[in-house]
Every structure is written in structure tokens, then in C-alpha cells.
Structure 1
Amino acid sequence: MPTDRSIVLFDLFGVIARHQRPGALRKMAARCHASTDAFTTAYWACRPPYDAGRQSAPEYWTAVLRRLSLPADADTIEELRLADIDSWSRVDDAMVGYVRSLREVTEVALLSNIPSDHADAFLAAQPWLYDLDHVAFSGKIKAAKPDPAAFQHCVAALRAAPTAFLFVDDREENVRAAQAVGMNGHVFTDRDELTAVIDTWLPTRRRMRT
């Protein structure tokens, strides 16, 4: 594999997209007549296999409702599924513009922990994602960060050495996992800091080609 390529590999939520809409879990809990704390605990405790593509949306929501000792009827499941997708639908327009501009100077890819049905909705609402060099959604590739398999998928899909990547995520554990497979990593805090990091990293990659 060539070692002189440069690929900025972005996380989605907390970097390009916003975190979950404030109050969303409270509203979903109210729909179920459950306490917000109990609903939130069940929502996240059941999430890993859904994110990693090992459960469908109905299977996930059935698990959540059963953990709350609530009936899992089809109408409730669909209402919760759609509310959940909507709660994760916001993007940071400034970051979207920055990511798109980077394609003039480097390859750009995406690796996100997101269930398969959420991914379909996000792609439909954000067609600019199709312009990236590769998009990997955990629910589609059957591996979620920080599982090394998620990063190895991107290495194989882009046919690049791990050292060709700069992985950007707002969670340190995911950045450490990327570094463990040989990628460069940056913990995202804001766009200005990221711009400085990339502006420093790209010339380093270019010097490798001379």
C-alpha cells in the first residue's frame, strides 16, 4: 500500500453533526410513560448491538421497552424510531463547509457509529456525504468504534496504509483506538484548533512525496 497518501477520517456526531437534540430522551420517555432516567439508562444500555448492525430497529426498541417492563407494540416502536432519528439529524453547517473544502487538498472520509436505518435517513438528508471518498457507518459495516475492525474497514476500503490517516473524533477513547491500529489521531474540540492541526499535518504528508 502507498504510504504517502493523506486521508482525513472524520467522526460524525460531535464533530460534523450535532449531538442528540436536547430534551429528546425526555420526550421519548414521556411517550412511554417512563421516567427520563430509567428511559435514558435503557436507551444507552441496549444501544451497542444496534449501533454495530447486530440488531434491527424493532429488535433494539423491543429490548429497550422490555427493559422498562413496557409492551413493545409496533406503533410505539415506530414512533420511537422516527423520534430517535430526528433527534440525531442536525449538522454544523460551518463544519460541513470546512469538510467539503478539504477535498480540494486531501482525501476525506467518514467513520460514524450510527445504526443502519439512521444512516439511510442521514444520507437522504445530507447528499454531500456522497461526495466524500468513503463513508463508513457502523450499522452498515457491522463494527462500531472503538472496535479495531471499524478502523480496519476504512484501511481496507481505501486501500491505504494506516499511517495515511488522520482520524478526528471528539471522544478520546476512539482516537486512542485509531492510534492503536497505526493511524494518526486528533481529539476534536473546535474547528479552529482542527484547522491548525490539519494545516500542519498535510505539509508533512506532502514532504513524504518529494
Structure 2
Amino acid sequence: MPSDRRIVLFDLFGVIARHQRPGALEKMAARCHAPTEAFTTAYWACRPPYDAGQQSASEYWTAVLRWLSRPVDANTIEELRLTDIDSWSRVDGRMVAYAQSLRRVAEVALLSNIPSDHADAFLAAQPWLHNLDHIAFSGKIKAAKPDPAAFHHCVVAMRAAPTDFLFVDDREENVRAAQATGMNGHVFTDRDELAAVIDTWLPTGR
């Protein structure tokens, strides 16, 4: 049977939070005494298992340093880890306020690709997250978008049907993956366009 539940499921980075701080990759590359281009390749190529909770921060950074043929030591790993966390720490205040305001008319949840230690830091720094109806961080649920398991986690955890969700992400491949599981989807570009989509999607009279 059709449900009257409405759950807006937000991506985090590029929607509510900002993308990586400019200059962060260059800063981490310099700490490794590596060219920025080579560091950036290693940073992203080694990332998927870390995002999906299959590697610890130490294992991830060891893989990056070995990719670059650089020495592996605990101090370097910790400096890189903390710089990396800081580089992903900024939020868009207007989008935070908008997401919170939606809870008057819908359930609001979050599904983000983020390593477990990053998630812990983000939760500590952003108390508004605790007011949402559900939070799913890839490093905690052991599944990262666009893996269907990430979307299924939200469906099961919220005891909802896929059609109850509107998934909002700035990456089209993730939106398509959500739609393949039965969710509604919207590729995020800006708040005003999203607000118009949500207003149309909500039941009349709410």
C-alpha cells in the first residue's frame, strides 16, 4: 500500500556540508614530500575501503604512503589523519538550517560516504546532526554509495519503504543508484531548486 511517510535523505558533502577545503591536498602532499598530483591519485585510489569501514585510518594512510613509496610512521599518519578530518569539516549554514526546518513537514535523514573516525569528529562538532531522524555514515554501516546496501540500510533502519524516500545528492551516479532501489531521487545543485522539488513532492495539505 502507498505510504504517506515522507523522508528526505540527504547526502552530506556537496549538499549540507562543503567539499574538501581548498589547498588541503597540497598541504598533505607536502607533508609526505610528494608531488600533489601523485598524492591526489593515491589519496583517492586507496579511499574506497576506508570510506566503507573496511580499513582503519592507520591502514588507509599506510596504503597511501606505500603507494607513494614514502616511509610509514605513526606521527606522519596522525598528522595526515587530522589534516584530512579538518579538510572536510565545513558546513553550509543555510543548508543546515533548511534541513532542520524540513522536520516540521517530513522526516529528515542523512546518508554520507565518510570514514568512521571522520564521522566521530563530525558528530562531535555538529550537534544538530543528533536531531535528525536517522544518520547513516558509510564507515559505520560498512557500505558506501553507490552500493545498494547503503540505501537498503536506511530503508531497514527507518522501517520504511523505498518509495517513502527522496534521496538528495550532488552526484548523479549516487542518485541513479538510489532510484534503482526504488527511492525517489534529486541531483542537488542549489537550495532553491531543491526546495521547489520538495514542496512538489510533499503531500498536499501538509
Instruction: Indicate whether the TM-score tops 0.5.
Output: yes
Map 1:83-98; keep pairs closer than 5 Å: 83-98=83-98
> RMSD between aligned alpha carbons?
1.2
Map 1:123-134; keep pairs closer than 5 Å: 123-134=123-134
Equivalent residue for 2:78?
Answer: 78
**Cα deviations across residues 124-169 of structure 1 (Å, max 9, x unaligned)?**
0001000000000000000000000000000000000000000000
How many correspondences in the alignment?
Answer: 206
Q: Which runs of 5+ in 2 are unaligned?
A: none
Q: Contact conserved, 1:52 with 1:138, CA < 8 A, in 2? A: yes
- Hey, what's the Cα distance between the residues in 1 that align with 2:170 and 2:205? 23
The one-letter code matched in structure 1 to 2:34 is: A
- Hey, what's the Cα distance between the residues in 2 that align with 1:83 and 1:27? 8
Equivalent residue for 2:62?
Answer: 62
Equivalent residue for 2:172?
Answer: 172
- Hey, what's the Cα distance between the residues in 1 that align with 2:51 and 2:168? 19
Matched, 1:193 2:193: yes
The one-letter code matched in structure 2 to 1:183 is: M
Q: Tell which deviates more after alignment, 196-205 or 4-13.
A: 196-205
Equivalent residue for 2:157?
Answer: 157
SS at match of 2:64: helix
The one-letter code matched in structure 2 to 1:111 is: L
The one-letter code matched in structure 2 to 1:44 is: W
Equivalent residue for 1:47?
Answer: 47
Pick closer, same or farther for the CA change 1:205–1:79 going to 2, 3 Å: farther
**Structure 2 length-normalised TM:** 0.98
Q: Which runs of 5+ in 1 are unaligned?
A: none
- CA apart distance, 1:2: 6.8
Q: Percent identity?
A: 86
Equivalent residue for 1:116?
Answer: 116
SS at match of 2:104: coil
Q: Contact conserved, 1:116 with 1:139, CA < 8 A, in 2? A: yes
The one-letter code matched in structure 2 to 1:152 is: H
Q: Contact conserved, 1:6 with 1:205, CA < 8 A, in 2? A: no
Q: Contact conserved, 2:4 with 2:203, CA < 8 A, in 1? A: no
SS at match of 1:83: helix
- CA apart distance, 1:4: 2.0
**Structure 1 length-normalised TM:** 0.96
- CA apart distance, 1:54: 0.0
**Cα deviations across residues 31-54 of structure 1 (Å, max 9, x unaligned)?**
111000000000000000000000
- Hey, what's the Cα distance between the residues in 1 that align with 2:204 and 2:162? 15
